[in-house]
């Protein structure tokens, strides 16, 4: 293993600490009763609070000045200054221990625990006057040095995306503002879950390993179970299992879960992503549009304090109602062409006219999807419902109640990206079987994303499923909107990446 000069020095310091009889990785707990942000927000010199404070975190700065030193400790909430006097933390014969350990053997990045009382320095900075200090964990690699001036300007920042995403633990340490993205993500999920729970809907869990990949048009990841000697797939959706639960008698079920699709990667796609899917009995897609508006407006208010969020150079308003366009209306608005009466060959010719790449495996639904994606999506900035899709595009949605050849489906687009997809769910088992069989024909033509025929799901429908509306929301993309991030990698702790290149010795 090749070590840098700094790594060699830190390992040497580690050995010297052990030789002094100090355990650099102690097992006993360190009791914490305060945090940096709490002290900075609540300390009152006149009230004399925080006189027995106990904090733990990383040592991020140290200025040794003879018998006294100043340092900075960073915990999960922020940074705070420490004042350390040698004669107080190492009285009598232990002064030499202080000189050896604190001055020479502690390094930036080490985890320490401190106890003491809080005061305000002559320059007005809230500071912990340390009376006890304990090494909790020795850091053997130096952190990147990120410098900030008094006005908040950052120098030598740790900004390389390749390093930040691969070493998220370093990113979170030296760029602590990144934590706010993930705190917002957590609050988003909590807020949405609370909204569903208030309606009386049940949070459930469904299988991740599935014998048949279904519920969406996507290429799956495939594996093999040795004991059962059968292939299994990482789920591309949890739709068919959730609808089985509606058949079983629940009025409303939802699940936050990971989905896996063996597809391309870009700024809005990761092969592993988080989706929320919900199914509510006795409802339709018109009701679902109203529910989504109410839910997203509430979630946005609770998470950001208002309904308008900044996304790049645009302001997006999540307050309802949202504009509604049928898919054919949207395509005609942005291409000038009415495609409602076109057959497969006419659609193929139109795509070629617009220089959209197509191939022989694409059926009518795929061609319309490509046309919509290339010519319409980028124009849908404010929250917009695209409704009433061609039947070929949506094998699991109910036929439209008044328009032949369409289904009752909507997708919600924001800032040019789809963040939600919903149907009036197909509950006619005979119609559903025919749709599955049509998908098999597409599969025979080479469409790797076509759905399989799921006999057990058809059996469930044959027992009877009430009228139901279902919805899926992409949590990663919604988080991007609410945190003003243009890349999905920024809202995932550990995005998928190519294998790391081995360093040359």
Closest CA to 57 of 131, 133, 119: 133
pLDDT digits (tens, 9 = 90+) for 149-178: 666 665 557 899 999 999 999 999 999 999
Q: How many CB atoms lie within 10 A of CB 440?
A: 13
Longest dimension (CA), the chain: 93
Quick one: 363 exposed, middle or buried, by C-beta within 10 A (0-12, 13-18, 19+)?
Answer: buried
CA triple 248-276-432, angle to 5 deg? 50
**Domain map of the chain by residue range?**
5-143, 179-322+382-491
The pLDDT assigned to 492 comes to 97
Q: Which helix or strand (DSSP H or E) is residue 133 part of?
A: strand 126-137
Quick one: 14 exposed, middle or buried, by C-beta within 10 A (0-12, 13-18, 19+)?
Answer: middle
The pLDDT assigned to 451 comes to 81
Strand order in the sheet with 222-225: 209-210, 230-234, 222-225
Query: Rounded distance, CA 424 to CA 402, Å?
Result: 13
Residue 264, token pair as written in the block: 């391309």
Domain 5-143: top CATH class = mainly beta
CATH topology of domain 179-322+382-491: BirA Bifunctional Protein; domain 2 (3.30.930)
pLDDT digits (tens, 9 = 90+) for 201-224: 999 999 999 999 888 888 999 999
Query: Rounded distance, CA 470 to CA 193, Å?
Result: 16
Three-state DSSP state, 295: helix
Tell me the DSSP string of 89-122: HS-GGGHHHHHHIIIII--TT-EEEEEEEEEE-T
DSSP letter, residue 399? B
Low-confidence ranges of the chain (pLDDT < 50): 505
Closest CA to 109 of 91, 127, 136: 136
Return the percent helix, strand and coil in the chain, to nearest 5: 35, 25, 40
Residue 241, token pair as written in the block: 């299992």
CA 176 to mean position of chain CA atoms: 17
Three-state DSSP state, 467: coil
Q: Are 303 and 190 in contact (CB under 8 A)?
A: no
Contacts by 162-171, CB closer than 8 A, 24 or more apart: 162/497, 165/489, 165/494, 165/495, 165/497, 166/497, 166/500, 168/493, 168/494, 170/143, 170/144
Q: Which residues of 304-340 are buried (b: 16+ CB within 10 A; e: fewer)?
A: beebebebeeeebebeeebeebbbbebbbebbeeebe
**362: Cβ–Cβ under 8 A, 6 or more apart, which residues?**
348, 370, 447
The pLDDT assigned to 505 comes to 42
Closest CA to 162 of 497, 476, 492, 491: 497
Q: How many CB atoms lie within 10 A of CB 81?
A: 17
Quick one: 86 exposed, middle or buried, by C-beta within 10 A (0-12, 13-18, 19+)?
Answer: buried
Q: Which helix or strand (DSSP H or E) is residue 375 part of?
A: helix 364-375
DSSP H stretches of helix in 121-238: 161-166, 168-174, 179-198
């Amino acid at each position: 293993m090749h070590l840098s000069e700094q790594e060699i020095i830190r390992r040497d310091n580690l050995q010297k600490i052990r030789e002094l009889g100090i355990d650099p990785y102690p097992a006993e707990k360190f009791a914490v009763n305060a945090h940096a942000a709490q002290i900075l927000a609540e300390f009152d010199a006149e009230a004399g609070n925080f006189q027995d404070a106990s904090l733990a975190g990383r040592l991020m700065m140290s200025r040794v000045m003879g018998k006294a030193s100043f340092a900075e400790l960073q915990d999960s909430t922020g940074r705070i200054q420490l004042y350390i006097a040698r004669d107080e933390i190492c009285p009598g014969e232990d002064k030499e221990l202080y000189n050896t350990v604190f001055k020479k053997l502690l390094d930036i990045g080490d985890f320490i625990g401190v106890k003491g009382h809080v005061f305000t320095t002559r320059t007005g900075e809230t500071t912990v006057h340390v009376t006890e200090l304990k090494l909790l964990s020795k850091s053997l690699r130096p952190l990147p040095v990120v410098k900030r001036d008094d006005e908040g300007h950052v120098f030598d920042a740790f900004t390389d995306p390749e390093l930040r995403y691969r070493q998220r633990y370093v990113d979170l340490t030296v760029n602590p503002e990144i934590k706010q993205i993930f705190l917002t993500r957590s609050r988003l999920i909590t807020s949405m879950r609370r909204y569903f729970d208030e309606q009386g809907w049940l949070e459930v869990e469904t299988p991740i390993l599935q014998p048949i990949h279904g519920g969406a048009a996507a290429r799956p990841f495939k594996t093999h179970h040795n004991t059962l000697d059968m292939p299994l797939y990482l789920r591309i959706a949890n739709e068919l299992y959730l609808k089985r639960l509606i058949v079983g008698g629940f009025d409303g079920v939802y699940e936050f879960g990971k989905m896996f699709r063996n597809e391309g990667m870009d700024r809005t796609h990761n092969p592993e992503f988080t989706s929320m899917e919900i199914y509510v009995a006795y409802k339709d897609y018109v009701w679902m549009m109203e529910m989504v508006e109410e839910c997203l407006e509430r979630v946005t208010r609770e998470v950001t304090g208002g309904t308008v969020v900044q996304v790049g150079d645009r302001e997006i308003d999540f307050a309802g109602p949202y504009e509604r366009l049928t898919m054919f209306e949207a395509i005609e608005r942005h291409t000038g062409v009415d495609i409602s009466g076109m057959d497969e060959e006419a659609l193929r010719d139109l795509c070629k006219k617009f220089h959209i790449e197509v191939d022989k495996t694409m059926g009518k639904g795929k061609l319309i999807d490509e046309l919509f994606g290339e010519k319409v999506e980028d124009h849908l900035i404010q929250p917009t419902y695209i409704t009433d899709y061609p039947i070929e595009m949506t094998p699991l949605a109910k036929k439209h109640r008044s328009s032949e050849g369409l289904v009752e489906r909507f997708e919600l687009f924001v800032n040019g990206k789809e963040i939600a997809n919903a149907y009036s769910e197909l509950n006619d088992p005979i119609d559903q079987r025919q749709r599955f069989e049509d998908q098999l024909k597409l599969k025979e033509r080479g469409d790797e994303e076509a759905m399989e025929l799921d006999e057990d799901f058809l059996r469930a429908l044959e027992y009877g499923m009430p009228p139901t509306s279902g919805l899926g929301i992409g949590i990663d993309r919604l988080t991007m909107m609410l945190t003003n991030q243009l890349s999905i990698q920024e809202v995932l702790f550990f995005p998928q990446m190519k294998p790391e290149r081995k360093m040359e010795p």
